[in-house]
Amino acid sequence: MKTIRDAIHGTIGIDDLSLELLDTPEMQRLRGIRQLGFGYLVYPTATHTRFEHSLGTYHLASKLGRYAGLSEKDQQKVKMAALLHDIGHGPFSHTTETAVSDHVNVVHEAQTVKLIKNSMITDILKKNNFNPNEIAGIAIGKKLPLGEIVASDIDVDRMDYLVRDAYYTGAAYGVIDLDRLMLTATLHRGKLRMKENGLSAVEALVFARYLMYPAVYQHHTVRICDSMLSAAIVECLEEGLFSVEELYNMDDIELISRLRLMTTFSGEIMQRLEHRKLYKRAIVIGREDLGSGYKKLLNLETEKLEGLQAELTEVCDLKQGEVLLDIPAPLYASEATAEILYKGKPTPIEAISPLLKALRTAQWSYWNVAVYCDKKNVENVKQKAQDVLLGFVQ
Amino acid sequence: MKTIRDAIHGTIGIDDLSLELLDTPEMQRLRGIRQLGFGYLVYPTATHTRFEHSLGTYHLASKLGRYAGLSEKDQQKVKMAALLHDIGHGPFSHTTETAVSDHVNVVHEAQTVKLIKNSMITDILKKNNFNPNEIAGIAIGKKLPLGEIVASDIDVDRMDYLVRDAYYTGAAYGVIDLDRLMLTATLHRGKLRMKENGLSAVEALVFARYLMYPAVYQHHTVRICDSMLSAAIVECLEEGLFSVEELYNMDDIELISRLRLMTTFSGEIMQRLEHRKLYKRAIVIGREDLGSGYKKLLNLETEKLEGLQAELTEVCDLKQGEVLLDIPAPLYASEATAEILYKGKPTPIEAISPLLKALRTAQWSYWNVAVYCDKKNVENVKQKAQDVLLGFVQ
Amino acid sequence: MKTIRDAIHGTIGIDDLSLELLDTPEMQRLRGIRQLGFGYLVYPTATHTRFEHSLGTYHLASKLGRYAGLSEKDQQKVKMAALLHDIGHGPFSHTTETAVSDHVNVVHEAQTVKLIKNSMITDILKKNNFNPNEIAGIAIGKKLPLGEIVASDIDVDRMDYLVRDAYYTGAAYGVIDLDRLMLTATLHRGKLRMKENGLSAVEALVFARYLMYPAVYQHHTVRICDSMLSAAIVECLEEGLFSVEELYNMDDIELISRLRLMTTFSGEIMQRLEHRKLYKRAIVIGREDLGSGYKKLLNLETEKLEGLQAELTEVCDLKQGEVLLDIPAPLYASEATAEILYKGKPTPIEAISPLLKALRTAQWSYWNVAVYCDKKNVENVKQKAQDVLLGFVQ
Amino acid sequence: MKTIRDAIHGTIGIDDLSLELLDTPEMQRLRGIRQLGFGYLVYPTATHTRFEHSLGTYHLASKLGRYAGLSEKDQQKVKMAALLHDIGHGPFSHTTETAVSDHVNVVHEAQTVKLIKNSMITDILKKNNFNPNEIAGIAIGKKLPLGEIVASDIDVDRMDYLVRDAYYTGAAYGVIDLDRLMLTATLHRGKLRMKENGLSAVEALVFARYLMYPAVYQHHTVRICDSMLSAAIVECLEEGLFSVEELYNMDDIELISRLRLMTTFSGEIMQRLEHRKLYKRAIVIGREDLGSGYKKLLNLETEKLEGLQAELTEVCDLKQGEVLLDIPAPLYASEATAEILYKGKPTPIEAISPLLKALRTAQWSYWNVAVYCDKKNVENVKQKAQDVLLGFVQ
């Protein structure tokens, strides 16, 4: 068994089949995709990649499968699905996603499925008598019960990225009792469940994510950079400089180098990003000021979102890309469905933990809708954007 | 400047005056008092002492004073108060406290004041033109504003012990962003306040304590051991084997070795503790089952508490010490008074943080009143204790 | 399987049989024996015990046995031997040893064997069809090949204590690649051998020990305390206050509390230790100044050593215990016998590693013979002790 | 004062002037240059950049200057020089260096000087009354005594990169007692010297580097990748696709994206690197087999080195770039000149430390000259390369 050294988990052993998957171009491309996109502009040490995160997720899936007593075959499935779960990400991960998608559809998951079912990976899986369809389903959390291990409220993906992101940002918030999470997971009537004595560890996991949200994932500087890059990508797509499919096959290096060469708005945006001439926040509106309308904004489909963005640009009398609307997804997009074995019965975690329930409310104190533009346009945009947005949600 | 190596904070520099204080018998006694009492029976690595905790608290006070911009003289006061803040603790810290006190009075604080005002320490302070009265007041958090640094909702004492206890138990919950806490503290109109951007760090601090409460501080095995030792101490005091004053001058070693030599009930308890023949939980009653009566239990003064314990013993038809009532203090005994500078104005932290507000409620899921006795008496005690307690609270 | 949390290794799983051993008084006594004796006087955080070290050694033995592919039965033997390997230590470990022994005989090993063969442990082993003789042999490294895992140049005992001591002292020197050491161990013709790619990890292990030697294990303050306590123990033994056998059944607490109560020289020594009124170094003689005579000193048997000490006391015109001769064991008492699989052939590590060879020489720069006494006698002792020692070695 | 979070050092405070330097394109370019070049192919988590290393070096320089008692002005000089010390590095740092240089000349240092003396940085320095010449001299360790802090045998550059590289590779070898190193540095007659009690820390620093050398810096896979990329760069330079000056202004992204687009040999090499179709080692010759001739190889100037490479290609009957000669610099290129204050007198460290002396010899066990080529040519190259090399050194 080959071993790989990892800064988080120490030594990771890779089985032969997973090693073969690891060596495919689809997996190797992830070496070029930074886990936190522009996060490194705020946290210089956050330069880690989806490749190492995938290895870490594989490692935890391997441990969890063993501890929970899965069959050998199921363990292998979960390990491979964990390793492959992120291959659908485009350059700068969530930025690419924002550029081509909305909060409702998750493009990178479809892309993951597509790649598992139609690439070198497919051949490797088939040759070893695994069903690519099934592995893909597990990888995106759709094929239950195994999918829960890789993608659910309490999954190995999240366990790895929270610990890893905390380590590389130096943010000190992501310390999670991985051992305890592993040891309290169990198979209950064919489903993965945490035992009751794992509740504190689950609370710590969710809390870590809650703290990482404003400090890292939704740091205002990162949001501005993401919005700018996203606008540049949108322009490129519209002008046919590359297709969505081509985009999803790039790594950060290719996207950056392409944008560097452009002489259009996209090229200018890239230059601004590299010289830190970032847009400023013209307005920031919290949930309270949006009334119940915040839901309307969160549920906007791509087309309508583009319409709102276009209206904003027009009202402000600016060119496309000069004023940017940013509606981030909330920390908890949906109700938590995770269940814990409480007095022997699967029970929703929020029914047991007042803390977790509280976090669902507390998250909104960190959520807001913002509009960005060049410093010189801030005054102009301030009032107009406010009107457009509040008008829209009423 | 002498330097001391600390497993938590790295190198700690000690100024000459503090070094003189450190070398007094009052401080050196703390080497023999384990920070977590019987915690090491659950977490074998939790053998750390109040001595090292005092050094760590000194270190953080020194940093905080400097960062917050205190005058040289005030910095020195705070450092010394931090170093001395625990000298009043008796052997096994909170166990001794439980034996001689109730939830309302805090004996070890009075003892700390007494020692600062009447020992070798007093002479050292006076010789260097410091007022022992003032230093004592700061050490127990009564003399404001400096006292807030050492003893308040967000103080250096708590910062050190949470990080230190987490480290030595291996509990992985106490990771706190000390740097951030230090850097966001500021003097506002003569008072120490956290700046708004320190809120996450404060939330993490309070959350760490919340998780450590059931996992360490109120772990059921630790509670049983504490109750047993406390009963042994009570017997010794009643029989005049040592006085409260003598007790507070012992370290763990002396208390243990004295109890080992006894042939009475106290000696038997000590033997049981050392051979892990621990009492069992006969009943455990949560807050909900106590109705509003839980407050009555929490506010019992020593005398009445002893009365209830005596009644319990009698009803169960057992001898003193054979059935033990355990009413732990809740995590948050009182309303948090800490304020944070929110939009420039001092604001209670719970008004800003829904999370902190939630923790106040959530703590009760971990709180309960319990009754312990020998395995063979469990069945007998079960029903009777329930009746006594529920009868009492109604 | 029960799990125990350890600050070093995270979660340690204990099999049922080992758990039974863990609960014997022989093992529980180790909770009261600090791993580094007086080390905590120099490093306040070094309060860890032989109990947790034994658990850690058990954990590493368990891992190594599994990785090296031992049979289930052999794995169990090695685990139990590792758990029990230190039960023969007296209070303050090496200090007790110094008081009753010389560099040639190792009393605590004989004591370990005795206890395994004649205590509650014996019954547990027999009941489960293990041969106490064999387990004892493995525990002290005499029964090969399994004994090598527990006690040899590269053993799990050393791996644990180096990492643990470094962690608790905060000395930062003991970082060792445990994963790599575990993974490169292999069974070669029935013997445990490291593979060639483990050489760096072995070098790091040995180097860590080399750095810990002057910084911790032979720190001059620790040596003075050890010599003082040792002299007190010698007096107690001579005066029949307790026997060697009783001594080896004490923990630190009992020894300290007994010495505290004494009114003789031993009691005075204890007081001095607790109030840090330590002896001073009158002379310190390095190997170079001893010529080839250093070997003579190192090979002194107990009786002759006592003779030299008595002569020293007499010449200085002092009472027994007022002047103390300290001849520490060198870091590498004997030639390293560990072999590594180099190009497939077992080869002595020092033949491959010029570094390890160099450390054997380098150690002498930290080794010296010293004589301690009260501050007021230093001038008197200085010249006389020099004469006695140099006279003796010529 | 702005603060930046760093995964290694925690919070780093940046003074205003250094912040201005940090925002220059010259510094920001370092965000795109990975510290360990292809190291991430062996250690997936080693994706850290020269940017964060520069910040870390700045941080340590700032601490050391303060502890050693430098004047305010000198502290500022040292901090800025530390921050700027790596701006001369080309993409993939040492690989670029290998492509354009030999072991005698250090191109990136000249480039650092050039940039400090002729860029936006120059203006910032002059405007604030600092002499760019002087800062450049300190940055490359030529202007003494301050230069010693940034570039010497025991400098803050090395302290940061060893700790950082160990952290990101997970190699566990680079644990260095930074506190101790900082605290034992002192100004002695205008020069920076370590005090005697810092010797262990220095030994640990040098030893960490010794272990990192084969495990990371000279790992055989990394060496093969470096040689391949270097050959591609050489071709590009020869064909005029970019100049040396343009090369040194690129970051990794630009170099990779340019090579990806090429259809020549360079493009093929890039493809092989990205798909891990790496050359193999045809021969590996250690120092012993080279006799005294190894010196001849190490001292080859660029021109003669190219001659030898050309001869090798010709004899093997291959095309340029198909067979690659790799002569790495030894760990210790020159005698250590660092001095330590030993008994108050500056003394060469190797005169005091037998260990450090031993490492100078021991390093050669890890050093070798190698020849790489495609798998299919290995057999052909094996004998011929041997002849060429041994012929050359005789």
Domain ends where: A156, A184, A217?
A217
Residues A125 and A270 in one domain: no
Q: Which CATH number is D123's domain given?
A: 1.10.3210.10
Give me the interface pTM, i.e. the ipTM. Answer: 0.91
User: How many Cβ atoms from other residues are within 10 Å of residue C322's Cβ?
Assistant: 17
Residue C326 lies in a domain: yes
Take residue D372 and report the two structure tokens written for it: 């790489």
Q: How far apart are CA D346 and CA D189, in angstroms?
A: 10
Q: How far apart are CA C79 and CA D350, in angstroms?
A: 43
Task: Return the residue in A59, A67, A179 with the most chain C beta carbons within 10 A, the one to mutate for interface testing.
Answer: A179
Residues C318 and C386 in one domain: yes
The SS3 of residue A8 is coil
Q: How far apart are CA C183 and CA A14, in angstroms?
A: 13
pTM of the entire structure? Answer: 0.91
CB contact under 8 A, A6 and D45: yes
Q: How far apart are CA A194 and CA A182, in angstroms?
A: 9
Residues C161 and C233 in one domain: no
* pLDDT of C333 over the 70 cut: no
Take residue A329 and report the two structure tokens written for it: 């997804």
- State pLDDT tens for residues D110-129: 999 999 999 999 999 999 99
Take residue A322 and report the two structure tokens written for it: 């000069």
Measure CB to CB from residue D211 to each of C204, C352, C354 and give the nearest one: C204
For residue B182, give the chain D residue with the closest CA.
D11
Q: What is the pLDDT of residue B104?
A: 61
Residue A356 lies in a domain: no
Residue B316 lies in a domain: no
The full DSSP string for B341-368 is EETTEEEEHHHH-HHHHHHHHHGGGG-E
The dihedral formed by the CA atoms of A12, A17, A22 and A27, expressed in degrees to the nearest 10:
-130
Largest interatomic CA distance in chain D: 64
Contact predicate C113/C140, CB 8 Å = yes
Take residue C298 and report the two structure tokens written for it: 């190192």
Instruction: Give the helix/strand (H/E) hosting C203.
Output: helix C199-212
**What are the residues facing A177 on neighbouring strands?**
none
Q: Give the helix ranges, DSSP H, for D293-353.
A: 293-298, 302-315, 349-352
For residue C252, give the chain B residue with the closest CA.
B253
In chain A, the percentage of residues whose pLDDT exceeds 70 is: 97
- State pLDDT tens for residues C141-169: 999 889 989 988 788 999 999 889 988 99
User: How many Cβ atoms from other residues are within 10 Å of residue C52's Cβ?
Assistant: 28
Contact predicate D47/D106, CB 8 Å = no
Nearest to D84 by CA among D61, D116, D62, D59: D116
Residue D32, φ and ψ in degrees, nearest 5 = -95, 10
Residue C321, φ and ψ in degrees, nearest 5 = 90, -10
Where in A260-338 does DSSP place strands (E)? 280-286, 323-326
Contacts of D183 in chain B (CB under 8 A): 3, 11
User: How many Cβ atoms from other residues are within 10 Å of residue B258's Cβ?
Assistant: 20
Residue D352 lies in a domain: no
Which subunits sit against B, judged by 3+ Cβ pairs under 8 A?
A: A, C, D
> In angstroms, how far is the first alpha carbon of chain A from the final one?
61
Q: What letter would DSSP give residue C215? A: I
The SS3 of residue C43 is coil
* pLDDT of C174 over the 60 cut: no
Residues D188 and D305 in one domain: no
Considering only CB atoms, which residues of chain D are within 8 Å of chain C?
171-173, 175-177, 180, 200, 203-204, 207, 210-211, 214-215, 352-355, 357-359, 361-362, 365
Task: Return the residue in C34, C47, C255 with the most chain B beta carbons within 10 A, the one to mutate for interface testing.
Answer: C47
CB contact under 8 A, A172 and B171: no
**Confidence category of residue D199, pLDDT binned at 50, 70, 90:** confident
Residue B299 lies in a domain: no
Q: Which one-letter amino acid corresponds to residue C258? A: R
Contacts of C171 in chain B (CB under 8 A): 5
> In terms of residues, how long is chain A?
394
Residues C100 and C115 in one domain: yes
For residue D171, give the chain A residue with the closest CA.
A5
Nearest to D5 by CA among A160, A38, A41, B10: A41
Residues A20 and A125 in one domain: yes
Measure CB to CB from residue D253 to each of A43, A257, A276 and give the nearest one: A257
- State pLDDT tens for residues A101-127: 766 667 899 999 999 999 999 999 999
Task: Return the residue in B207, B209, B361 with the most chain A beta carbons within 10 A, the one to mutate for interface testing.
Answer: B207
CB contact under 8 A, B177 and A175: no
Q: What is the pLDDT of residue A240?
A: 93
For A23-37, A74-88, B73-87, C319-333, which range has the lowest pLDDT when averaged over its residues?
C319-333
CB contact under 8 A, A173 and B177: yes
Cα-based distances in Å from A137 to A14, A66, A155, C221? 22, 20, 15, 64
Q: How far apart are CA D39 and CA D46, in angstroms?
A: 6
Q: What is the pLDDT of residue A322?
A: 96
- State pLDDT tens for residues D215-240: 889 999 999 999 999 999 999 999 99
Task: Return the residue in C45, C92, C163, C259 with the most chain B beta carbons within 10 A, the one to mutate for interface testing.
Answer: C45
Domain ends where: D217, D252, D270?
D217
Q: What is the pLDDT of residue A180?
A: 84
Q: How far is D38 from chain B (nearest CA, A)?
A: 33
For A180-194, B106-120, C271-285, which range has the lowest pLDDT when averaged over its residues?
A180-194
Contact predicate C67/C185, CB 8 Å = yes
* pLDDT of A81 over the 90 cut: yes
- Domain limits at D232? 223-331+365-393
Q: What is the pLDDT of residue C48?
A: 95
Q: How far is A214 from chain D (nearest CA, A)?
A: 15
- State pLDDT tens for residues A274-290: 988 999 999 999 998 99
User: How many Cβ atoms from other residues are within 10 Å of residue A337's Cβ?
Assistant: 11
Nearest to B7 by CA among B42, B51, B39: B51
Mean confidence (pLDDT) of chain D = 91
Contacts of B23 in chain C (CB under 8 A): 276
Q: How far apart are CA C66 and CA C58, in angstroms?
A: 12
Q: What is the pLDDT of residue D98?
A: 86
Residues C205 and C264 in one domain: no
* Residue given tokens 């190894």 in the structure block: D294
Contact predicate C175/C166, CB 8 Å = yes
Contacts of A92 in chain D (CB under 8 A): none
Contacts of A183 in chain C (CB under 8 A): 3, 11
Q: What is the pLDDT of residue A178?
A: 85
The SS3 of residue C188 is strand
Residue D345 lies in a domain: no
Calculate ∠ Cα D321-D327-D329, nearest 5°: 135
Q: Return the exposure string of D275-314: e unless at least 16 CB atoms fall within 10 Å of the residue's CB, then b.
A: eeebbebbbebebebbeebbeebbebeeeebeebbeebbe
Average pLDDT estimate for D53-81: 95
Residues D316 and D195 in one domain: no
Domain ends where: D217, D232, D257?
D217
Residue D47 lies in a domain: yes
Q: How far apart are CA A176 and CA A202, in angstroms?
A: 9
What residues contact D321, with CB distance under 8 A and at least 6 apart? Answer: D231, D232, D234, D235, D265, D269
The full DSSP string for A158-217 is HHHHHHHHHHHHT-------HHHHHHTEEEETTEEEEEGGGHHHHHHHHHHHHHHIIIII
Q: How far apart are CA C15 and CA C12, in angstroms?
A: 10
Measure CB to CB from residue B179 to each of D11, D179, D183 and give the nearest one: D11
The SS3 of residue B280 is strand
In chain A, the percentage of residues whose pLDDT exceeds 90 is: 63
In chain D, the percentage of residues whose pLDDT exceeds 70 is: 97
Contacts of B200 in chain A (CB under 8 A): 173, 211, 214-215
- State pLDDT tens for residues D126-154: 999 999 999 999 999 999 889 989 988 78
Which subunits sit against A, judged by 3+ Cβ pairs under 8 A?
A: B, C, D
Q: Name all contacts of B240-244 with Cβ < 8 Å and 24+ positions apart.
A: B241/B266, B244/B100
Selected residue with higher pLDDT from D358 and C218:
C218
Where in chain B does DSSP place strands (E)? 2-6, 10-14, 185-188, 191-195, 280-286, 323-326, 339-342, 345-348, 368-373
Residues D91 and D191 in one domain: yes
Measure CB to CB from residue D179 to each of B10, B179, B183 and give the nearest one: B10
For chain B, residues with pLDDT lower than 70 are 102-105, 172-175, 333-336
Selected residue with higher pLDDT from A4 and A331:
A4
Number of structural domains, chain B? Answer: 1
Residues C212 and C227 in one domain: no
- State pLDDT tens for residues A138-161: 999 999 889 989 988 788 999 999
Q: What is the pLDDT of residue B94?
A: 87
Residues D233 and D161 in one domain: no
Nearest to B92 by CA among B281, B233, B235: B233
For residue C34, give the chain B residue with the closest CA.
B47
The full DSSP string for C47-77 is --BHHHHHHHHHHHHHHHHHHTT--HHHHHH
Residues D272 and D182 in one domain: no
For B287-291, C225-229, C257-261, which range has the lowest pLDDT when averaged over its residues?
B287-291
Q: What letter would DSSP give residue B91? A: T
3-state helix, strand, coil in chain A (%, to 5): 60, 10, 30
Residue D326 lies in a domain: yes
Cα atoms in the 13 Å half-sphere on the side-chain side of B195: 11
Burial class of residue B280, CB neighbours in 10 A (0-12, 13-18, 19+) = middle
Take residue C45 and report the two structure tokens written for it: 């955080």
